[in-house]
Structure 1
């Protein structure tokens, strides 16, 4: 069964080289494949100022970061069949940080964008990388998903993902 995906893309940056809605949809779908039948989420592409403000407010870190994930918490008593249960949450991706990281790491920009989208979606699905075993599981899953999209393994070193 094909994924029923409601994806909203918000562009709050003048940066060029942003992924298209079709690319974002493709990457989100790959991350959700076999995990959800229906999903709704927003991806907001921002400048460093907005990314830094959100990172400071929600994580206490006074710098922009590549991707922030804001999972939606289903209210108690809501049925999983209710359309609101499709809502995963929001991703905020700082375009300048993603593009800078791609250059610094010698990666194709689209590969790094895809990685940040997949990484963020996995966070919305409750994956994390706080402990070593959790990080190993999440990184292996990201590598598999990105490989299926035709991209090389995203982790050449532990420094490849700043602090998202």
Structure 2
């Protein structure tokens, strides 16, 4: 007998919506792939101004970042907010030579894992989180999001 699939209530808010932003259906698919328990998630797609304000106000860092995660509660179900800054996501995908869809998938999965308590504050935790991200992303049919970084490590020894 297999474990029951987690239940997900996903609200997607488009404060900024370029044509290239994935659909709610895609975000839902990615969230379910990363989810280990029932959850209520609000995803907000923002521009650089709002992304910068949120990063400054909540993390003390005065720049727009790709993804912010705000876990609010974890009992009896996981509840939280994830913010994706569309212009930053698009810029990074171009700079890193990744498809935009794959980069959105990776960053949203990254945020979902943060909601579930994963972090990358030290090397061991980062290695665990990155391995899980890679497993989920590749299972969904996207390339390893850390492939380029791993290749550079191998070259540099």
TM-score by length of 1: 0.85
In structure 1, distance between residues paired with 2:82 and 2:116: 12
Per-residue deviation, 1:15: 2.0
Per-residue deviation, 1:87: 3.8
5, 14, 18: which one pairs with 2:8?
5
Q: Does 1:43 align with 2:43?
A: yes
Per-residue deviation, 1:39: 1.2
In structure 2, distance between residues paired with 1:14 and 1:142: 25
Per-residue deviation, 1:50: 0.2
Q: Which runs of 5+ in 1 are unaligned?
A: 75-79, 159-164
Flag as ranges the 4+ runs of structure 1 deviating above 2 A: 85-88
In structure 2, distance between residues paired with 1:114 and 1:93: 11
Q: Which runs of 5+ in 2 are unaligned?
A: 151-157
In structure 2, distance between residues paired with 1:30 and 1:73: 20
Q: Is the 8 A contact 2:52 2:64 kept in 1?
A: yes
TM-score by length of 2: 0.89
In structure 2, distance between residues paired with 1:73 and 1:2: 20
In structure 2, distance between residues paired with 1:54 and 1:91: 11
Aligned length: 146
Per-residue deviation, 1:86: 2.2
1:162 match: none
Q: Report the 3-state secondary structure (helix = DSSP H, G, I; strand = E; otherwise coil) of the residue aligned with 1:8.
A: strand
Q: Does 1:109 align with 2:100?
A: yes
Q: What is the RMSD of the two structures over their aligned residues, measured on CA atoms? A: 1.2
Q: Report the 3-state secondary structure (helix = DSSP H, G, I; strand = E; otherwise coil) of the residue aligned with 1:152.
A: coil
